[in-house]
């Protein structure tokens, strides 16, 4: 039996197991159904609500009128930015966010007008590196059983266009950057689903072939497995070039100031362009922090196999209370330095006004049902987790220096939210911010020394650590 037939047989066995009848003592009995039906009174107010909800979106009816007047657009401290980016129908928020932080520094240092790095260039190498990461991990786990959790996780997640900050250090630190006009967006970089489906299919096929080679010859199959990996990567490279274009190895670029006056014209490689205009140690100069109340604070954690390149670094972070995270964020913004942040953006989001506020929607009053979980409980029950990365650019402080609200630059286009931004109340940030990446110069020494702790390794399938999209 081939490895593909073995995998199919395992799936069929799992399906047949699910079909076995369960003990009926916990089922919906007639008595319980009668009790449930009786709990809905069906009074005039209930019927009116049912009619309203059956004909209108829940958020439209739950929108709190009082919350509309509670948020203004003033910020006591704000980092200047020029131009809102748009990731379109792709999961590249992590990439846009990291590059937006870098472009803001470049614009400020050189007095530029609106400017963007090429997201298509970085995306090309990210997809190729992730493909290699998957195939090499399949080789490394070829001796494990088909139903091993690591093997199943790999084949469920061969590739994605999502990611997190390690993608910035892994990919840009290795391949450099180019201006957007040198390698512009394409249909497939703006709308990644069709291409991603085909790449994932080819990777799974290559992965099964690697496992079949190992099954036939064990450890002696090393060369055969590597040959399969290379052949698969050649196909992936072809798909990427045909859909995104060939990445430049050298280009000529003219830099213009804010008035449109040309400042210089030079020939660059992507690596020399990065060195001249960014020149930052993306691995050594930044620390990722997490607010995860399900785990011990002031400890360092590492996510196994969670990186963008095989020769890159696993995602490592320090878990801190929100007060510590916000203090570093304020220090960075006051020094005109943006930050990479991520959160559960869809919770209580009023996209029309561009606000995240826990008072935006009153679901309890509308439905007559209480929702009482705190952040820890939402994480434990899979109700909340980091879903989207953005650029933290502003904070509004009260007379005592306490934050009232925060401003983030989004990558959903200039027409989205508040002029391409989202305004987040401090209370909302406490509940739904998860990650913040801070330059070391804004980190207090007692927290910075935690980077020397041996990390606690967590599995790749930990529920808190899905890619940001």
Using CA atoms, how far apart are residues 42 and 368, in angstroms rounded to an integer? Answer: 13
Q: How far apart are the first and last CA of the chain?
A: 39
Buried b (16+ CB within 10 A) or exposed e, 180-198: bebbebbebbeebeebbee
Beta strands in 40-162 (DSSP E): 77-78
Using CA atoms, how far apart are residues 195 and 243, in angstroms rounded to an integer? Answer: 8
Instruction: Residue 243: count other Cβ atoms within 10 Å of its Cβ.
Output: 19
Residues with Cβ within 8 Å of 391's Cβ and at least 6 positions away in sequence, in order, are 81, 97, 100, 101, 104, 338, 339, 340, 341, 408, 409, 410
Q: Phi first, then psi: what are they for 89, rounded to 5°? A: -95, 65
* Long-range contacts of 256-259, Cβ-Cβ distance < 8 Å, separation of 24 or more: 256/112, 256/113, 257/110, 257/111, 257/112, 257/113, 258/111, 258/112, 258/113, 259/113
Instruction: Residue 152: count other Cβ atoms within 10 Å of its Cβ.
Output: 16
Is the Cβ–Cβ distance between 469 and 93 less than 8 Å?
yes
Tell me which residues are annotated as active site.
93, 388, 410
Q: What is the CA radius of gyration of the chain?
A: 25
Residue 374: C-alpha distances to residues 54, 292, 357, 369 (Å): 29, 12, 15, 16
Burial of 415 (0-12, 13-18, 19+ CB in 10 A): exposed
Using CA atoms, how far apart are residues 96 and 92, in angstroms rounded to an integer? Answer: 6
Using CA atoms, how far apart are residues 467 and 165, in angstroms rounded to an integer? Answer: 10
Residues with Cβ within 8 Å of 294's Cβ and at least 6 positions away in sequence, in order, are 376, 379, 380, 464
Instruction: Residue 162: count other Cβ atoms within 10 Å of its Cβ.
Output: 20
- Under DSSP, is residue 192 helix (H, G, I), strand (E, B) or coil? coil
Count Cα neighbours of 344 within 13 Å in the Cβ-side half-sphere: 22
Is the Cβ–Cβ distance between 196 and 240 less than 8 Å?
no
């Amino acid at each position: 039996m081939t490895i593909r037939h073995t995998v199919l047989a395992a799936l069929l066995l799992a399906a047949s197991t699910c079909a076995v009848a369960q003990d009926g003592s916990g089922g919906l009995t007639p008595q319980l159904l009668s009790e449930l039906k009786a709990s809905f009174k069906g009074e005039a107010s209930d019927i009116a609500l049912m009619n309203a909800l059956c004909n209108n979106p829940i958020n439209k009816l739950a929108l709190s009128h009082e919350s509309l007047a509670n948020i203004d657009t003033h910020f006591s401290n704000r980092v200047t930015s020029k131009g809102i980016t748009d990731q379109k129908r792709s999961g590249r928020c992590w990439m846009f966010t990291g590059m937006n932080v870098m472009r803001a520094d470049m614009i400020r240092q050189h007095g530029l007008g609106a400017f963007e790095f090429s997201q298509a260039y970085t995306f090309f190498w990210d997809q190729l590196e992730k493909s290699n990461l998957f195939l090499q991990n399949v080789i490394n786990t070829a001796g494990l059983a088909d139903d091993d959790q690591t093997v199943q996780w790999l084949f469920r997640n061969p590739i994605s266009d999502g990611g997190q900050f390690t993608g910035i250090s892994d990919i840009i630190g290795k391949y450099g950057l180019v201006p957007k006009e040198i390698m512009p967006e394409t249909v497939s970089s703006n709308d990644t689903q069709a291409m991603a489906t085909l790449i994932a299919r080819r990777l799974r096929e290559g992965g099964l072939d690697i496992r079949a080679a190992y099954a036939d010859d064990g450890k002696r199959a090393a060369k055969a497995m590597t040959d399969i990996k290379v052949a698969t990567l050649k196909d992936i490279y072809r798909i990427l070039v045909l859909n995104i274009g060939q990445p430049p190895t050298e280009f000529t670029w003219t830099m213009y100031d804010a008035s449109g006056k040309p400042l210089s014209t030079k020939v660059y490689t992507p690596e020399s362009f990065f060195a001249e205009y960014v020149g930052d140690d993306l691995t050594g100069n930044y620390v990722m922090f997490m607010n995860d109340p399900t785990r011990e604070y002031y400890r360092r954690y590492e996510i196994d196999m969670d990186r963008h390149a095989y020769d890159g670094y696993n995602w490592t972070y320090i878990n801190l209370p929100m007060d510590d995270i916000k203090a570093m964020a304020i220090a960075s913004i006051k020094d005109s330095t943006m930050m990479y942040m991520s959160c559960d953006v869809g919770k209580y989001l009023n996209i029309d006004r561009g606000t995240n506020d826990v008072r935006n929607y009153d679901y309890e009053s509308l439905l007559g049902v209480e929702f009482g979980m705190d952040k820890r409980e939402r994480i434990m029950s899979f109700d909340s987790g980091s879903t989207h990365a953005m650029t933290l650019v502003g904070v509004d402080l009260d007379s005592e220096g306490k934050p009232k609200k925060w401003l983030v630059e989004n990558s959903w286009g200039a027409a989205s939210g508040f002029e391409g931004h989202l305004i987040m109340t401090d209370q909302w940030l406490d509940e739904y911010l998860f990650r913040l990446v801070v330059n070391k110069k804004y980190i207090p020494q007692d927290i910075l020394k935690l980077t020397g702790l041996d990390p606690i390794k967590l599995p790749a399938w930990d529920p808190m650590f899905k890619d940001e999209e």
